[in-house]
């Protein structure tokens, strides 16, 4: 059993080293996230489907199941998938190089042994290549060290996002990981409805996206990059975007607006190498929200200074 040591500083992330493992793990999280989704009541904007950063990896949190409940956790310290139930059931799967098809089969076999009967839509969402999970023998990479390193970055990012979330008293999402895009995100709402969303996302029903963007938002997040943009990066966008939004001044100086993505971008490396990573990231989160709130004429009484409560 591999057991990783904690990382003291913000870890260095290199997309080319991470991508194969993260492509596999994202598909594993889609399977786990869909299990949560079909057993949890619908919560606005798809908040019932997400995963959460935990002290050992990623977690579904408690999933209702009849008179009981269960939970599925990715442990990126000892590299196990742990399924625990309120009736005392406990099973584990080793996280190691294996195909998505093997992971899918092993997990549902384990659930059956725990008397947890569930069915999911067994194809990926939000990905161009949507191989059915049971047939995916393509994605099979799992580098334990790379996954542990990436999760250690998520731990630090989650803490800063949580602090940022606390600065707003209006409607705001949890800090959570959407397995569709594999991004950690936090979203603020102005309180007003938004124009009908017309964008398209691969392998995602339009009605889902329209509900997700039914109200005005300013959203920030972190994602590991892609072959098109091969850098782990923070992002921030608003919907609907108002004239002048993309030219608003934002911080730190390394942040920029990406026209193709329609988002403000700050590469993770700029935060990781900063003398004050937390403060640098907060500047990005606060200034990009300011850009959305200013150009969108948000009610600024929703902003909240909690400094007096932190003492």
Complete DSSP assignment for 295-308: HHT--GGGB---HH
d(CA 91, CA 297): 51
Let me know how long the chain is. 311
Q: What is the pLDDT of residue 186?
A: 98
Kindly report, residue by residue over 226-250, the tens digit of the pLDDT.
999 999 999 999 999 999 999 999 9
Please state the φ and ψ torsions of residue 184, each to the nearest 5 degrees.
-85, 130
Q: With 70 as the cut, is the pLDDT of residue 56 above it? A: yes
Q: What is the pTM of this model?
A: 0.94
Kindly calculate the radius of gyration of the chain based on its CA atoms and give it in whole angstroms. Answer: 20
pLDDT at 309: 46
Mean pLDDT of the 294-302 span: 94
> What is the three-class DSSP state of 178?
strand
- Rounded to the nearest integer, the mean pLDDT of the chain is 95
Q: Are 100 and 136 in contact (CB under 8 A)?
A: yes
pLDDT value of residue 167: 95
71: pLDDT strictly greater than 80: yes
């Amino acid at each position: 059993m591999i057991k990783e040591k904690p990382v003291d500083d913000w870890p260095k992330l290199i997309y080319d080293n991470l991508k194969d493992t993260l492509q596999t793990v994202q598909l594993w999280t889609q399977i786990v996230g869909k299990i949560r989704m079909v057993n949890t009541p619908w919560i606005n904007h798809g908040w019932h489907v997400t995963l959460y950063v935990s002290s050992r990896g990623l977690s579904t949190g408690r999933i209702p199941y009849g008179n009981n409940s269960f939970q599925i956790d990715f442990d990126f310290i000892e590299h196990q998938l742990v399924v625990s139930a309120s009736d005392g059931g406990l099973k584990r799967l080793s996280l190691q190089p294996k195909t998505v098809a093997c992971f899918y089969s092993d997990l549902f076999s384990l659930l059956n042994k725990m008397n947890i009967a569930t069915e999911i839509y067994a194809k990926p969402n939000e990905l161009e290549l949507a191989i059915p999970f049971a047939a995916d023998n393509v994605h099979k990479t799992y580098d334990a060290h790379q996954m542990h390193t990436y999760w250690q970055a998520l731990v630090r990012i989650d803490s800063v996002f949580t602090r940022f979330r606390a600065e707003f008293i209006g409607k705001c999402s949890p800090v959570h990981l959407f397995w569709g895009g594999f991004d950690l995100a936090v979203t603020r709402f102005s309180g007003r409805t938004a124009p009908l969303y017309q964008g398209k996302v691969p392998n995602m029903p339009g009605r889902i996206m329209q509900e997700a963007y039914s109200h005005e938002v300013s959203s920030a997040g972190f994602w590991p990059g892609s072959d098109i943009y091969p850098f782990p990066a923070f992002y921030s966008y608003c919907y609907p975007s108002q004239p002048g939004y993309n030219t608003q001044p934002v911080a730190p100086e390394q942040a920029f607006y990406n026209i193709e993505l329609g988002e403000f971008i700050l590469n993770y490396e700029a935060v990781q190498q900063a003398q004050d990573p937390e403060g640098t990231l907060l500047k990005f989160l606060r200034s990009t929200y300011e850009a959305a709130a200013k150009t969108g004429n948000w009610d600024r009484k929703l902003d909240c200074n909690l400094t007096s409560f932190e003492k």
